[in-house]
Chains A and B, each alone.
Chain A
Amino acid sequence: MSRVLVGVKRVIDYAVKIRVKPDHSGVVTDGVKHSMNPFCEIAVEEAVKLKEKKFIKEVVAVSCGPTQVTETIRTALAMGCDRGIHVEVSGKDYEAMGPLQIAKIFAALAKKEEASLVILGKQAIDDDCNQTGQMTAALLDWPQGTFASEVTIDGEKVKVVREIDGGLETIKISMPAVLTADLRLNTPRYATLPNIMKAKKKKIANMKPADLGVDMVSRVEVLRVDEPPTRLAGVKVETVDDLVAKLKANGTI
């Protein structure tokens, strides 16, 4: 009865130029092009591959947010997930939503759905937190295989090759487990039109965090959002002495 939960996040498309809101409370999202977080695409692809290799029976795509996230769930369904769960979060709760709240939701869903694996992207490209997978594993008291660049199922265990600073680390963890996908894990397939059409018939269940016993209160408050400071032009120097003089002049040495 192997079931995998995959998390998909709707983020501002990576090629779009971000604009900070005039009141510095956040970035402009209205009408801006959004897409599925690239690491989530890789997570979906891995889950669907595992299903195609018959290691698991069902892939459930989960996303948290307002109505628009159903588009992201549909893309996951078009890539091969069997059904979706839309956890409705909107307004102030959505703006304040962070890894801890998501982790609590995923932990509750993993238990509810009796999942053997939770596969997430290693991080989202908007907040770059890289915390959700780890927090989910901790809340469930499950092993975690993060930064996965290769995943192999071996009976009741999972062999995970992890990308770390020093190179590659191979670990073996028992299921149920949480995995987070890194860039080289796979190349995601396209969501083709016939599959998008078929995906319209697949079910997406709606629920609220309260239904899962999760309280969305955030312990983090965003005080201010600013553009990164404009990069100043560099200064070319002719000799090493010039370089030393300039570094002394601006207080670096």
Chain B
Amino acid sequence: MHLHMMPRITSHYTIFPRDKDPRWEGVEMERFADEADVVIVGGGPAGLSAAIRLKQLAKEQEKELRVCLVEKASQIGAHTLSGACLEPSALNELFPDWKERGAPLNTPVTEDLFSILTEKYRIPVPMLPGLPMNNHGNYIVRLGHFVHWLGEQAEELGVEIYPGYAAAEVLFHEDGSVKGIATNDVGIAKDGSPKDVFERGMELHAKVTLFGEGCHGHLAKQLYRQFNLRENCEPQTYAIGLKELWVIDEKKWRPGRVEHSVGWPLNRNTYGGSFLYHLNEGEPLVALGFVVGLDYTNPYLSPFREFQRWKHHPFVAKTLEGGDRIAYGARALNEGGYQCLPKVTFPGGMLIGCSPGFMNVPKIKGTHTAMKSGMLAAEAIFPKVTAEDPASETAGLHIPEYEDNLKKSWIWKELYAVRNIRPSFHNYFGLYGGMVYTGVFYWILRGKEPWTLKHAGLDSAQLKPAKECTPIEYPKPDGKLSFDLLSSVALSGTNHEGDQPPHLTLKDDSIPVANNLAIYDGPEQRFCPAGVYEYVPLETGEGMRLQINAQNCVHCKTCDIKDPSQNINWVVPEGSGGPAYNGL
């Protein structure tokens, strides 16, 4: 293998440190620093709920508290993507008057359908009350809009929100506790050298830092290692969710209707399914999407193309025919549940929301638990950060009360009750075994069975070598119901400053061709929902090279999760880059 003929792919300073790089000699690297009481990374449901709760407590108890929140998206909600059927439990606690405040919960669920699909037919499954998927009392929401509303509430309460600035680095005190974060540097060229407009990011120091980066956060990944937070839990398992918004023919519109399916086009051993929700916000809008468990074994599987072909099923096509697709996006989500919950507190910080992962998988809901975790974090933090003498052993506050409160809360009860449903799919009968388990054990015992099933292990270790698997024949997109990847990516509104180091960093540039392509036929070409990874022929003729189209990235994190070589390390690009979702 002629490595010297391969153009270099990775130039990011996390792989090639700048203190050893001659191009950076003499460049001013000092950062401006500011102090807050609490710094929150991530403006999603968890981060915003934590911020809001802190300020509510401050108002109640007439104390001053500086809360700063940084968010990598250009505006709050622009990187948010979810189905979503919101269970208003946490919202009712946070803002009992949410309706008067104008929270965009406009679509109460009126109809709840569940189907098993075969290639041509549909087998309806009754949605009995007590089954986790039952949605009575919930609302179909556009989570991006809901998160944007939360952001407005937070700003009104005095939270300092800074969208467009990504937390790129965790800062540590000398005693090893977390000191805060530093935002991304700007003005580094694609080859890793400083441009004229280079400027260092800023340091935000805090007594305690909350990390709410969502599923598979890049700073959380580092914190797990640093503080050994995962020593007593299973490795997290994930799925990828792809979503589109369609304006459909008014005659087909059923506002308030929730549809879920399993089965076709996935085989019984690949976990996944679809959702289709009819919104009620004026125009005949439906939110639909497809989820594929990332423990799939066939490297030829393309979650994007499974999604596109699912839309051709007669039951789905009849809703979409004559409609227009107006949005597209994708995001990884947690599937591990209870067995995969790490330690969530460490000196100077804590993890909230989908980052540690409180999603109730069979309910396919994680927003209510994410919000509640943020609120519990705030309630544990507040007395400590406003105390005269916090009596802490470390400079950054360690607040284990948060974890205690989580364990006493309804989040824990809920996750414990459904803990065996997802792992029950790992049996010979796959999907059907899992459904039987759910129907028998969950519906009757509600999780009280004394055993706890295990997951299959790391998602990245599940792929079989390509030669042991059959390529999947996907139909060509028809341009009316199904579409090609690039036109879909264009609808996500994603973009990044082109002249910056690719943020999909490789620990070793030679591994993609030597391992991923050689053994698994380059699965990243298929699992990336944005066309970031392409194997192209070398200009010299012999062999292939990996081309990373970093500008397309929609920040879904799937590559970091599923790469069989675990060679890809996703880091934040310059702030404001990424998708421009509007109410997804």
User: In whole angstroms, how far apart are the Cα atoms of A31 and B493 in the complex?
Assistant: 13
- Quote the shortest CB–CB distance from B256 to chain A (angstroms): 21
User: In whole angstroms, how far apart are the Cα atoms of A192 and B201 in the complex?
Assistant: 7
- Quote the shortest CB–CB distance from A197 to chain B (angstroms): 7
Contact A189 B197 (CB under 8 A): yes
Q: Which of A12-20, A80-88, A143-151, A212-220 contacts B (4 or more CB under 8 A)?
A: A12-20
Contact A15 B186 (CB under 8 A): no
Q: Which residues of chain B from 282 to 328 have a CB within 8 Å of any chain A CB?
A: 283, 326
Contact with B along A106-149 (1 / 0, CB 8 A): 00000000000000000000000000000000000000000000
Taking a contact as CB atoms closer than 8 A, the residue among A15, A19, A193 that contacts B202 in the complex is: A193
Q: Which residues of A contact B70 (CB under 8 A)?
A: 193
- Quote the shortest CB–CB distance from B498 to chain A (angstroms): 11
User: In whole angstroms, how far apart are the Cα atoms of A13 and B496 in the complex?
Assistant: 12
Contact B34 A194 (CB under 8 A): yes
User: In whole angstroms, how far apart are the Cα atoms of A20 and B90 in the complex?
Assistant: 36
Contact with B along A15-56 (1 / 0, CB 8 A): 111010010000000111101000000000000000000000
Q: A13-B493, A197-B34 in contact; A190/B187 too (CB < 8 A)?
A: yes
Q: Which residues of B contact A17 (CB under 8 A)?
A: 490-491, 493
B273 at the interface (CB under 8 A from A): no
Contact B490 A193 (CB under 8 A): no
Q: Which residues of B contact A197 (CB under 8 A)?
A: 34
B494 at the interface (CB under 8 A from A): yes
Contact with A along B469-484 (1 / 0, CB 8 A): 0000000000000000
Q: A13-B74, A19-B326, A33-B493 in contact; A193/B201 too (CB < 8 A)?
A: yes
Taking a contact as CB atoms closer than 8 A, the residue among B75, B186, B326, B583 that contacts A192 in the complex is: B186
User: In whole angstroms, how far apart are the Cα atoms of A174 and B144 in the complex?
Assistant: 51
Q: A192-B199, A194-B32 in contact; A33/B75 too (CB < 8 A)?
A: yes
Q: Which residues of B contact A16 (CB under 8 A)?
A: 493, 580
A153 at the interface (CB under 8 A from B): no
Interface residues on B, range: 20 to 34
A13 — nearest CB in chain B belongs to which residue? B580
Q: Which residues of A contact B162 (CB under 8 A)?
A: 193, 196
User: In whole angstroms, how far apart are the Cα atoms of A196 and B74 in the complex?
Assistant: 14
User: In whole angstroms, how far apart are the Cα atoms of A169 and B145 in the complex?
Assistant: 49
A200 — nearest CB in chain B belongs to which residue? B160
Q: A13-B580, A196-B162, A197-B34 in contact; A187/B493 too (CB < 8 A)?
A: no
User: In whole angstroms, how far apart are the Cα atoms of A19 and B34 in the complex?
Assistant: 41
- Quote the shortest CB–CB distance from A41 to chain B (angstroms): 12
B78 at the interface (CB under 8 A from A): yes
- 23 residue pairs A–B, Cβ–Cβ below 8 Å: A13-B74, A13-B493, A13-B580, A15-B494, A15-B580, A16-B493, A16-B580, A17-B490, A31-B77, A31-B148, A31-B582, A33-B78, A33-B493, A33-B580, A33-B582, A35-B74, A188-B197, A189-B199, A190-B187, A190-B199, A193-B70, A193-B201, A193-B202
In the A-B complex, list the 9 residue pairs whose CB atoms are closest, starting with the nearest: A15-B495, A33-B580, A31-B582, A190-B186, A16-B493, A194-B32, A193-B202, A193-B165, A194-B202
Contact surface of A with B, Cβ cutoff 8 Å: 13-17, 19, 22, 30-33, 35, 187-190, 192-194, 196-197
